């Protein structure tokens, strides 16, 4: 997705999208960090959440790390913005690398979170606390490996092909060898797996007792936002160049990154709202926890 030849309004659209991304990343960092913090400590307003699933802690912690590592890229593109798209290509490459890595791993986090919940519901007697700790550890290892693999593809872009880039408004303008295709394959691959797992999860929770259980609302909300803001945009991003021969970013700018940022922020706010409810100790401990 090269920024070269983009339409005149795209730089301004990118600026608006970048500002929204910065806000969403700050919201994600604040809300998810607060939930993790209150897993171990508590206050009068936010009582301590006593028994949080390790998978939930893994999901929140890695999401916060992704938000922290992508924030410098957004801040740089916001501060250095100009209608001429005169960003420093080298800075865009090194800062934007973490953005592409986040695009690759976040759908995997949702997959493991949902898988964990499905196992807990389907195998309540066999899926002990020790087993879901083991699942969380393995999910963390796989997620880190995906991140490293994504970074490897980004590093294989070196040496950068400066001669082929006239202007650069997004990270993808300088990754010309792989064009972020591996990251989008991971994104859509795990997104598709999430869609299938969502169908199974809804089937498992089809009984009235499960449907009324607030504990499943956390995963359901996460899955809905994943499908709306990650899976469907990912399909469009991959199919659009195939049909038109042109990158979607040429018309709508940083849409993929924007949707990911909105997704994480919505999840963070929802989790924190659940924690701050009047019956926080009872409800939150029984909703996200197994």
Residue 217: give its domain's CATH number. Answer: 1.20.1070.10
Task: Give pLDDT tens digits for 131-189.
Answer: 777 888 888 898 899 899 989 988 888 888 877 777 777 777 777 788 777 887 887 78
Q: How confident is the model at residue 2 (pLDDT cuts 50, 70, 90)?
A: very low
Structural domain boundaries enclosing 281: 10-287
Q: How confident is the model at residue 48 (pLDDT cuts 50, 70, 90)?
A: low
Cα 252 to Cα 257: distance, rounded to the nearest angstrom: 11
Task: Give pLDDT tens digits for 13-43.
Answer: 888 999 999 999 999 999 999 888 876 665 5
Q: Would you say residue 1 lies in a domain?
A: no
Q: Would you say residue 131 lies in a domain?
A: yes
Cα 4 to Cα 117: distance, rounded to the nearest angstrom: 44
For residue 213, give both structure tokens: 């259980």
Q: How confident is the model at residue 4 (pLDDT cuts 50, 70, 90)?
A: very low
pLDDT above 50 for 285: no
- What was the pLDDT predicted at 290? 43
For the chain, how many structural domains are there in total?
1
- What was the pLDDT predicted at 20? 95
Q: Would you say residue 99 lies in a domain?
A: yes
Q: Would you say residue 14 lies in a domain?
A: yes
Q: Would you say residue 3 lies in a domain?
A: no
Q: Is 168 helix (H, G, I), strand (E, B) or coil?
A: strand
- What was the pLDDT predicted at 265? 93
Task: Give pLDDT tens digits for 192-224.
Answer: 888 888 888 888 777 645 545 545 677 788 888
Q: CA of 120: how far to CAs of 128, 130, 191, 197, 215, in Å? A: 8, 12, 21, 14, 11
Q: Would you say residue 152 lies in a domain?
A: yes
Q: Would you say residue 5 lies in a domain?
A: no
**DSSP string covering 40-61, please?**
H---SSS-------HHHHHHHH
């Amino acid at each position: 997705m090269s920024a070269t030849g983009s339409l005149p309004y795209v730089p301004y659209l990118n600026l608006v999208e970048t500002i929204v991304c910065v806000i969403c990343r700050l919201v994600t960092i604040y809300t998810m960090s607060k939930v993790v913090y209150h897993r171990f400590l508590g206050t009068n307003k936010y009582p301590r959440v006593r028994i949080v699933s390790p998978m939930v802690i893994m999901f929140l912690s890695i999401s916060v790390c992704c938000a922290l590592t992508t924030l410098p890229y957004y801040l740089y593109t916001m501060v250095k913005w100009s209608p001429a798209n005169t960003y420093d290509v080298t800075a865009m490459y090194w800062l934007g690398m973490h953005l592409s890595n986040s695009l690759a791993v976040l759908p995997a986090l949702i997959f493991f979170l949902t898988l964990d919940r499905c196992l807990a519901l389907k195998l309540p007697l066999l899926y002990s606390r020790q087993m879901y700790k083991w699942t969380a550890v393995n999910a963390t290892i796989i997620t880190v490996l995906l991140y490293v693999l994504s970074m490897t593809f980004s590093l294989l872009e070196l040496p950068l092909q400066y001669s082929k880039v006239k202007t650069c408004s997004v990270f993808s303008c300088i990754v010309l060898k792989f064009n972020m295709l591996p990251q989008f394959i991971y994104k859509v691959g795990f997104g598709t797996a999430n869609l299938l797992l969502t169908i199974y999860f809804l089937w498992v929770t089809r009984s009235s007792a499960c449907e009324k259980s607030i504990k499943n609302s956390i995963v359901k909300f996460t899955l809905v936002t994943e499908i709306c803001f990650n899976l469907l945009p990912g399909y469009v991003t991959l199919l659009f160049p195939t049909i038109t021969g042109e990158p979607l970013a040429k018309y709508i700018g940083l849409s993929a990154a924007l949707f990911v940022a909105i997704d994480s922020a919505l999840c963070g706010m929802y989790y924190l709202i659940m924690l701050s409810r009047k019956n926080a100790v009872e409800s939150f401990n029984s909703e996200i926890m197994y």
